[in-house]
Amino acid sequence: MKRLTDTERDAALSSVPQWRYAPERGGLIHREFVFADFTQAFAFMTQVAFHAEKADHHPEWFNVYNKVSITLTTHDADGLSQRDIGLAHVIDTIANTWTRI
């Protein structure tokens, strides 16, 4: 899995506009979600967990009550890879099935 070039990265980021790019650790993307309550937040995480495991690409995430903060990066590529963009798309699709605050 290769790190995206700057050009590839810019094109990819435009397809996931709700994710914020940060240059740390070679490049990562980050998004925060706020749900109605803890059970919805954790149900969302559970759906994401199954997809992440299937894709063998896992998020770094933090949860407190109804909030979920997700960071995606590819350690093996020292930055952002196509796998992160793919997982971001899946996460957005799952998130859109929930009513969020």
Q: Which residues pair with 74 in a beta bridge?
A: 79
The burial class, CB within 10 Å (0-12 / 13-18 / 19+), for 50 is: exposed
Q: Does 46 bind a second copy (CB under 8 A)?
A: yes
43/21 Cα distance (integer angstroms): 26
Which of 58, 76, 78, 101 touches a second copy by CB under 8 A? Answer: 58
Which of 17, 64, 96, 97 touches a second copy by CB under 8 A? Answer: 64
Q: Does 98 bind a second copy (CB under 8 A)?
A: no
Which of 49, 83, 92, 98 touches a second copy by CB under 8 A? Answer: 49
SS3 80: coil
Where do contacts with a second copy occur on this chain (CB under 8 A)?
38-39, 42, 45-46, 49, 52-53, 58-65
